[in-house]
């Protein structure tokens, strides 16, 4: 989707865009994306791994009744910003326009639904690694390292950020169970 420079554009981050957005924004709000789960099913050879030893980063998979916590940013200058994010998310991610719901504490109920750009790695991209168990993903995360740093640091930053968002978004314990499980396995293997 092409955006005009004058329109209000939101970007929803659910992975590294949460703690390292690298975008200029005029508003930032905790939000959830309904109908999707976050999974470490995307191989990374350009950020958290290499071609020889791909790391794992998160993507979204559709699951009825699920919610994915993240952060929505209202972009100051959408056209060049999204072009820069297109480059950052180049390995299999595509832009989608989806509805996210801002935290109840952030906006009145009538304004909580936001149309946002979300980068999703579809299952047919060559980097997709479907149906990995948390233990298998953790084995890779514990050892992978790429130009953006250790894959384990990525997993730690993800869980740390989600823990901060937990109360603001009223997340249930089970909504963070997968990410915590992968991190716990990866940290045990890295010792």
What is the structure's pLDDT at 5? 47
- At residue 104, the pLDDT reads 73
pLDDT for 108 equals 53
Which of 3, 21, 20, 15 has its CA nearest to residue 116?
3
- pLDDT at 113 (0 to 100): 86
pLDDT at 80: 95
Q: Taking the domains of the chain in order of start, what are their residue ranges?
A: 10-190
SS3 88: helix
Residue 155: φ, ψ to 5°: -65, -40
Query: Looking at residue 163, what is its pLDDT?
Result: 96
Q: What is the pLDDT along the chain (191 residues), one digit of tens a residue?
A: 554 545 689 999 999 999 999 899 999 999 999 999 999 999 999 999 999 999 999 999 999 999 999 999 999 999 999 999 999 998 999 999 999 999 876 555 555 689 999 999 999 999 999 889 999 999 999 999 999 999 999 999 999 999 999 988 989 999 999 999 999 999 999 98
pLDDT at 3: 47
Q: How far apart are CA 112 and CA 105, in angstroms?
A: 10
* Helix and strand numbers, DSSP H then E, in the chain: 5, 7
Convert the pLDDT of each residue in 77-106 to its tens digit: 999 999 999 999 989 999 999 999 998 765
pTM of the model: 0.92
Q: Which residues are catalytic?
A: 89
Write the CATH number of the domain with boundaries 10-190. Answer: 3.10.490.10
Please tell me the number of Cα atoms within 13 Å of 111 on its side-chain side.
Answer: 5
Distances (CA, A) of 17 to 34, 88, 187: 18, 10, 22
């Amino acid at each position: 989707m092409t955006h005009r420079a004058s329109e209000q554009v939101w970007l929803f981050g659910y992975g590294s865009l949460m703690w390292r957005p690298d975008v200029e924004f005029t508003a930032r709000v905790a939000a959830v994306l309904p109908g999707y789960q976050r999974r470490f099913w995307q191989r990374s050879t350009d950020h958290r791994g290499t071609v020889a030893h791909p790391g794992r980063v998160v993507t979204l998979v559709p699951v009825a009744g699920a919610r994915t916590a993240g952060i929505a940013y209202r972009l100051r200058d959408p056209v060049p910003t999204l072009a820069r994010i297109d480059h950052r998310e180049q390995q299999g991610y595509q832009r989608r326009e989806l509805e996210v719901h801002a935290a109840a504490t952030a906006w009145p109920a009538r304004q909580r639904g936001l149309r946002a750009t979300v980068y999703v790695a579809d299952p047919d991209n060559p980097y997709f690694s479907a149906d990995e168990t948390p233990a298998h993903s953790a084995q890779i995360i514990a050892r992978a390292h790429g130009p953006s740093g250790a894959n384990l640091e990525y997993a730690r930053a993800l869980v740390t950020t989600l823990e901060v968002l937990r109360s603001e978004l009223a997340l249930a314990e089970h909504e963070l169970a997968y990410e915590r499980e992968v991190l716990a396995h990866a940290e045990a293997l890295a010792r």
